[in-house]
Structure 1
């Protein structure tokens, strides 16, 4: 028997293996255009919702009358690159919120989609830079999803842009309307359904950006899984039991489940299993991928009904829509047609396309007609345009994806990001760690008491507005009007943010004195914590003095 193989016989076999491997990878990083559309609609909606929720604390967190006036911002966070830092006036912030909302609506509707995505990302960066003290992991995820979305054809389906393209190609009367604006399909190197030589199809859009955004979601779960596996509480099964004892975090169903320790232990193991198995989001395809993505979505919806952690669960759900394969969208489309909502939706898009205002983009510099140019010049122009497209759709996403992977590896001590890489990540605000409730989950109820002396000699709680009460509140989450306020207070108390204690005390003094005839003379802020464990019968309340502040004195920055 001849055990040797000729090079000519080996090369075809190796080529076939590599082709199959390539197709297998492409199938796992492909995104259906309808998934991109659903993702776009979800992100646009979440941006509007985020702005609406933040607007409740617009004066508190984004103006000079709030907890972080511009002089404090520039002192503590310089340099600050934020359009929201051009003025501390409330009307300027309200105007910027309105502009951001308009672009978010354009993104939702798929109108000038690429432009809307870029501007929405820039305005979100600006908003986050204005007050870092109120940010959480949901803000990081939303920021990164928008960032990768800039490189994706989000307006290809279910959008005003897509309907305009259809009308441009052929109107309802069968004619071509040359006055309508075409929409460029910027999907990257490979778009649409493609077939390799072996007949295996790759459904959806395949490009470096599609791979990047799917990996971004995957990295969030894997990095968090590493943090959690280093935690005794998580691996011991009682982490969620401890988290649900933090009464300032639990809401709705969470208040009901707080005493169901056996069930919460089961939830602990279930979530650990889900994040450890999260690579299945990329490894699986078809119905199995859809099923697993649905399980993860179900877990996030459970978070939304039990914990006050802002929009993070809903943002995660929006990201997971990208993993749904064509079979899901074909089924959804068939169902929408059957129940009669598909046609009205199409008519609505047509109506929006006709009525949406035309906001022309800046015209490119006029160039001579291609036929009037020398052959060498035409070749140079075509080469430059081609290289620019490759740079935007492939090279830049590749480089940034590598840095994002390194940033996640650095967060769990597996690698170091080079100094130049750190500068790039800082510039686009793409550094990340994903420590959510890990390695040491929150396990104690925390609240504030701020006794303040009035000019008439009486005393009041400057934070709560009523009488000073040192007892544990029946429900600590009710002390905070919003999740942003709770996050700010938590950071002010426990993070390395001593300056913010004086900013907050100054804000309490000003807020009271603006709305009451009898002013405050001084205020003392105490952080209270119930250190009792989930299996203890009696509270164990500790009181920590954070700051004494003279309301009649000048603005003070401690630390």
Structure 2
């Protein structure tokens, strides 16, 4: 039985090291992407000032209110403070990637990531949930065992202790089960006929011009039966993938196949046909812990067969130099009689991880059927809000939205002319742009604007409009006579996606917010 549990829920330490490196690199890349909108998204001069954020969190339960004051990013709305936090988080991510004090910096990365996400939840996407939950489970795993400055396995060897190749604990089970939960429940939430019966979900998804690429637009010209087959294949993969990954027979080979299929699914099919931002990369990271020893052994054998010259020779030279430097550090630690590293989880960690697994399952069940399972988690909602274990995997669920369109921020001037602040002050044009996707400068910008269309985000529209007006006046501090701002209006040009084979529908102008300008 122990062998079965190890096959299903154990993780190769090399895979854990790759996850650590990938996570550190991803966090740095994500911070660089967010930094382009640092002032706009995270300061008091932007679209969501600190007082508005604190007000949002303060309206919730007591444990939600805690984040209004415990989040580091809400201490100050000044640009300098946010720059400091971004730089500090990046430094923590680098330490995590190289494996220096891995568990400590995994905790700091998780804490700072939660703090950052709480500062402006309006720019978050599904990939942010994935990163947050993966970091949570990583805190309880021996991240510094392999390919790290910590060199925990090398230190065990120096003390002439057994060197483990895998880790098996409730935390290792938790990070694997969390990935399976994502796919099981995202498929369960896709209960609409567009996914289950009609098979038109992929048609509607490819029609969303906020995400539409040239290749995705080309796919819309395929016969409808092809798009239907793609729909059923996608939901079938989500339903079965998380189950097949825990196949007790030929587990290693099956898992290599699962990783290959899902990486292809996310990077080639989704990432190639739709511009969904870094969700594809985040999804691929979730599958790294599933890479078995067989994968690494085959990779090592393939590397050995390569001729020892050129790039291989240089890479091996750099690797041996780094290992030599790391080993000298370990010798010093042994000389100082540093304590033997404990790679096994503590009892407290096991209990906490076990409770977290149960809670994650119950929380996801509540998301599918609140009437049946809601009472099981009602008294524990504070746990989810406190450590941000709350999760909802409704990507394109229950069906891809059909309210497509684009935004226009029209400024009416004293002389009667109108300019669009979202188009660098060009005259307002109600015509459909050549590419809606290219109107956005980043995934965060797109997600924020798409949220503004939703009725439950109506309170955020004035902040957005005022922020854009402030940017406009910084560039045009002294408008000439007749060019003074008289009124500002935010429109959404609603373009409903028609059913397959139906004629296109004319866009409809929807007024989201309007006010007479007085003073920003």
Q: TM-score, normalized by length of structure 2?
A: 0.86
- Following TM superposition, by how much is the alpha carbon of 1:462 offset from its aligned partner in structure 2, in angstroms? 1.7
1:223 aligns with 2:191: no
**1:62 corresponding residue in structure 2:** 42
**2:164 corresponding residue in structure 1:** 192
Give a deviation string over 1:420-460, Cα, whole Å, max 9, x none. 42111110111112000010212343210111023555321
Q: How has the CA–CA distance of structure 1 residues 355 and 441 changed in structure 2, closer, same or farther, with 3 Å as cutoff? A: farther
Q: State which of 13, 16, 19 in structure 2 corresponds to 1:36.
A: 16
Of 247-256 and 114-123, more deviation after overlay is shown by 247-256
Q: State which of 467, 484, 495 in structure 1 corresponds to 2:427.
A: 467
Q: State which of 127, 145, 149 in structure 2 corresponds to 1:160.
A: 149
Secondary structure of the 2:273 match is coil
Distance 2:226 2:39 in 1: 41
Distance 1:386 1:249 in 2: 44
Q: How has the CA–CA distance of structure 1 residues 266 and 24 changed in structure 2, closer, same or farther, with 3 Å as cutoff? A: same
Equivalent residues of 1:239, 1:441 under 8 A apart: yes
Equivalent residues of 1:240, 1:265 under 8 A apart: yes
Distance 1:238 1:388 in 2: 47
**1:424 corresponding residue in structure 2:** 383
1:454 aligns with 2:413: yes
**1:131 corresponding residue in structure 2:** 120
Give a deviation string over 1:471-528, Cα, whole Å, max 9, x none. 1111101111011111101111114022101111111211111111325342101111
Q: TM-score, normalized by length of structure 1?
A: 0.80
Give a deviation string over 1:181-205, Cα, whole Å, max 9, x none. x9x99xxxxx936xxxxxxxxxx32
**2:346 corresponding residue in structure 1:** 389
Distance 2:320 2:155 in 1: 13
Distance 2:277 2:343 in 1: 43
**1:201 corresponding residue in structure 2:** none
Between structure 1 and structure 2, the one with the greater Rg is: 1
Q: State which of 389, 404, 423 in structure 1 corresponds to 2:360.
A: 404
1:312 aligns with 2:300: no
Distance 2:488 2:225 in 1: 43
Give a deviation string over 1:365-399, Cα, whole Å, max 9, x none. xxxxxxxxxxxxxxxxxxxx99993102x011111
Equivalent residues of 1:209, 1:397 under 8 A apart: yes
Distance 1:456 1:348 in 2: 70
Secondary structure of the 1:471 match is coil
- Following TM superposition, by how much is the alpha carbon of 1:124 offset from its aligned partner in structure 2, in angstroms? 0.1
Secondary structure of the 1:158 match is coil
- Following TM superposition, by how much is the alpha carbon of 1:252 offset from its aligned partner in structure 2, in angstroms? 5.1
- Following TM superposition, by how much is the alpha carbon of 1:331 offset from its aligned partner in structure 2, in angstroms? 1.1
- Following TM superposition, by how much is the alpha carbon of 1:266 offset from its aligned partner in structure 2, in angstroms? 2.6
If each structure's helix is expressed as a fraction of its own residues, which one has the higher value?
2
Q: State which of 496, 504, 508 in structure 1 corresponds to 2:456.
A: 496
Distance 2:89 2:363 in 1: 28
Equivalent residues of 1:242, 1:444 under 8 A apart: no
1:437 aligns with 2:368: no
Equivalent residues of 1:227, 1:435 under 8 A apart: yes
Give a deviation string over 1:242-295, Cα, whole Å, max 9, x none. 111111112353243233344433321211111111211122511122112211
Of 308-317 and 342-351, more deviation after overlay is shown by 342-351
Secondary structure of the 2:245 match is helix
- Following TM superposition, by how much is the alpha carbon of 1:167 offset from its aligned partner in structure 2, in angstroms? 6.5
1:95-494 residue pairs with structure 2 within 5 A?
95-162=84-151, 166=154, 170=158, 192=164, 204-228=166-190, 230-235=191-196, 236-251=198-213, 253-260=215-222, 261-278=224-241, 279-284=243-248, 285-301=251-267, 302-339=269-306, 340=308, 341=312, 343-344=316-317, 346-350=319-323, 353=326, 389-392=346-349, 394-413=350-369, 414-416=372-374, 417-455=376-414, 457-465=416-424, 466-494=426-454
Aligned residue pairs total: 478
CA-atom RMSD in angstroms: 2.6
**1:84 corresponding residue in structure 2:** 73
Q: How has the CA–CA distance of structure 1 residues 537 and 349 changed in structure 2, closer, same or farther, with 3 Å as cutoff? A: farther
